[in-house]
Structure 1
Amino acid sequence: MAPKYSNKLNNKLVIVVGGSSGIGYAVAEASLEGGANVVIASRTQKNIDAAIASLTEAYPDSAKRIRGHPCNLVDTDAESDVIKLFDFATNNGAIKIDHIVDTAAADGPTVGDLASATVDTFLDSYRARCLGSAVLAKYALKYMLSSSSSSITMTSGILVRRPMKGMSPRIAASSAKEGLARTFAVDLAPIRVNVVSPGAIMTPLLVKMFDRFGEGLRENMRGSTLLGEIGQPEDIAESYLCSMKNRFMTGQVVQCDGGFLVKN
């Protein structure tokens, strides 16, 4: 009898946008371990090459199943970039995409006093954290198999439910993304659309925050969870795997925060 649970990603085509580092890299790695054919998308070819080299070194027998293509969801040419990415991944439409995971984010958090924020501050945050996901979903219909076995998984953040002072542009964009996901779940059905909402995960973006605000922030984040820990990318990657594998889940927000919401 063939395995019912352990090989659900075997030979599936998975695109991970933002897959060159942090959470996205962990999702790409986990998908590769699950037997998927993985395409990493990132803004620069340099980052893609580094990620592929790292994965190839770790999984030499899987080297043929990992590829990469640049895609900038923040740029004005985002639609063109997405089309090029999808054409590359599918060999110009010869095969179908099974799963799209979007973990892409801006280079750093939008933090500052609300009084000093401009309209462009909010628009830039929306463009960086929300608009790209909308473009991915727009073109998904053409390139994905229209089935409940197919999925799109976006990324928001725990601050949507526990806002932090000075981060309204970023939080507003993440909130909008959760609303978009629920709407896209209706628009794209039977393709499934979900959102993963991470808590504090040790990624390059979080390290930048620690560098900016000091070690006190690190200790505060660690102490704010029931587990007394900051999550690792491989922890949160399991939530994305669940979204891809669970054919009966759509329009949902998956919380993974180490018990932050329960404690606070």
Structure 2
Amino acid sequence: MICTHSYGKANEAESHSRIEIIDDEEIMPDQVKWINKLKGARVLVIGGTSGLGFGVAEASVEHGVSKLIISSSSQKRLDDAVSKLKNSYPSSSTEITAYQCDLADESKLSQNVQDLFSKVGELDHIIFTAGDAPLLTPFVDSNFESIKQAGMVRFFAPLLVGRYGYKNLVASPASSIVLTSGASSEKPIPGWTATSSYLSGLHGMMRGMAFDLKPIRVNLVIPGGVDTEMWNILDQESRESVVEELKRQTTTGRVGTVQNIAEAYLYCMKDRNVTGSTINTNGGRFLV
């Protein structure tokens, strides 16, 4: 006996799905057009050993990418991250590799970025989440050298990643670059003028790249406060104080988590119609 059922009337113009039951046993597979958008993709996550970058790396494996490459300045962190990913997903067929790349050394920055892209091969997505400790010296006490260094990883590195990395991307709207800024690019923090200047500059960088590198898509994720390993540089009391202050700056009463904010990067990779856009995920910080 064969019974056929149709469903999904709202999308009949695009897809007419059928389930066939043969002798009450065999069922035709459901359509799959939503959850496999990253299946088979090749993704490079720069800054992929911790925090948001590692979260995006995990999510990429779970979404079935064929190749995941992570990059960081520390070989030990790379080794640990690769081991953790492979242990967490023992049945995954994703090829996971890692390459060291120091983005903080001004004298070697350009060459280091070029060397990285000479190794990674053809890509579909480049995710940039790399960062370092913010310039903690108050702006009025800072000097030119410290101001310049504050932008080495945050600003100059992603600029060069776009400059050299686009050649590794398939020239298609299916390909993307996703950069990372911060909430202080739009809502100032006292004493952070230098750091905020670079974070604000990423808005213009992203839009310029979206034009200059088309049809490749370029977007910018702007997280608010995120509870990551970055805050481990503080003692426990100071860390708790920072977290409590970040909570007060939201309407949700919570600090962002990697598990939530990583979704913004997945969206930027999946939606082949989004480019030149900023994606805010900050718990309502701009409302407070």
Q: TM-score range by the shorter chain?
A: over 0.9
What do the CA deviations read for 1:128-167 (whole angstroms, capped 9, x no partner)? 2100001110112321111100000000001111111111
* 1:97 matched to 2:123: yes
Structure 1 residue runs without a partner (length 5+): 91-95
TM-score by length of 1: 0.92
Alignment partner, residue 206 of structure 1 = 231
Measure, in 2, the Cα distance between the counterparts of 1:204 and 1:105. 12
The alpha-carbon distance between structure 1 residues 184 and 174, as it changes in their structure 2 partners (threshold 3 A), is same
Give aligned-pair identity as a percent: 33
Alignment partner, residue 171 of structure 1 = 196
Q: What is the aligned counterpart of 1:8 among 22, 37, 41?
A: 37
Q: What is the aligned counterpart of 2:118 among 87, 92, 100?
A: 87
* Native 8 Å contact 2:125 2:176 kept in 1: yes
Q: How does 1:212-223 map to 2 (within 5 A)?
A: 213-223=238-248
- Residues paired across the two proteins, number: 257
More helix by share: 1
* Native 8 Å contact 1:210 1:217 kept in 2: no
Alignment partner, residue 61 of structure 1 = 91
Structure 1 stretch 165-174 or stretch 201-210: which is displaced more?
201-210
Structure 2 residue runs without a partner (length 5+): 1-29
Alignment partner, residue 113 of structure 1 = 138
TM-score by length of 2: 0.85
Q: C-alpha root-mean-square deviation of aligned residues, in Å? A: 1.6
Tell me how far 1:52 sits from its aligned partner. 0.5
Tell me how far 1:207 sits from its aligned partner. 3.6
Q: How does 1:126-205 map to 2 (within 5 A)?
A: 126-205=151-230
Higher RCO (CA < 8 A, seq sep 6+): 1
Alignment partner, residue 47 of structure 1 = 77
Amino acid at match of 2:38: L
More strand by share: 2
What do the CA deviations read for 1:25-61 (whole angstroms, capped 9, x no partner)? 0000001111112100000111100001111110012
* 1:243 matched to 2:243: no
Amino acid at match of 2:138: D
